[in-house]
Amino acid sequence: MRIPGQRRSQEPDDVGNRAGVFAEAVRDGNMDLAWSMLSRETRGMRMGVWATRNNVNMQDAYRAGYDQSHSMRASMLEDFRKTVLGLWPLEDLTDLGVAPTRYIDDEYAFVFLPFGVTQDNDRVHERRMMSGLVIPMRLEDGEWQVDMPGWRFLHSEESPG
């Protein structure tokens, strides 16, 4: 699969490293960190999907999304983690590398995190076909966030519906 965009550098950058932190947070179960790294649109869609599938009032879902002490937050974040791990098997989230970021423009970029990089986990040295994660990123308020609007259609196997 060809990843859209142009490289601005031959080296990984902070955008790629941030995507790597997101993948590690999901792997390690640090879902508060992973959630905080989502774009506003992605967060909003996940709150809506979770609320709809679990018959939760959208105001309660919104509060759970932004209040770490909310009683429903753990359930919402666990559903989010199951959704992500339905796409990214946990065993694949170890030994991730970071390839140079590909920029669509100054607001959108794609990061490729190849699987099985065991020697120098900071960068990919060879150009070859590799399997891995492609993570769309979006610049919001001066910070790169994970932007996966397609997740609106995803739900975990255990979710009703």
Alpha helices, DSSP H, located in the chain: 14-28, 31-36, 40-53, 58-66, 73-87
Starting at the earlier edge strand, list the strands of the sheet with 143-146. Answer: 6-7, 102-103, 108-114, 132-140, 143-146
- In tens digits, what is the pLDDT along the chain, a chain of 161 residues? 678 888 999 888 999 999 999 999 999 999 999 999 999 999 999 999 999 999 999 999 999 999 999 999 999 999 999 999 988 888 778 888 888 999 999 999 999 998 877 665 445 545 555 788 899 999 999 999 999 865 544 444 444 44
Return the domain boundaries, the chain: 6-153
User: In the prediction, which pLDDT does 160 show?
Assistant: 41
User: In the prediction, which pLDDT does 103 show?
Assistant: 95
User: In the prediction, which pLDDT does 11 show?
Assistant: 87
What is the fold of 6-153?
A: Nuclear Transport Factor 2; Chain: A, (3.10.450)
| pTM for this entry | 0.83
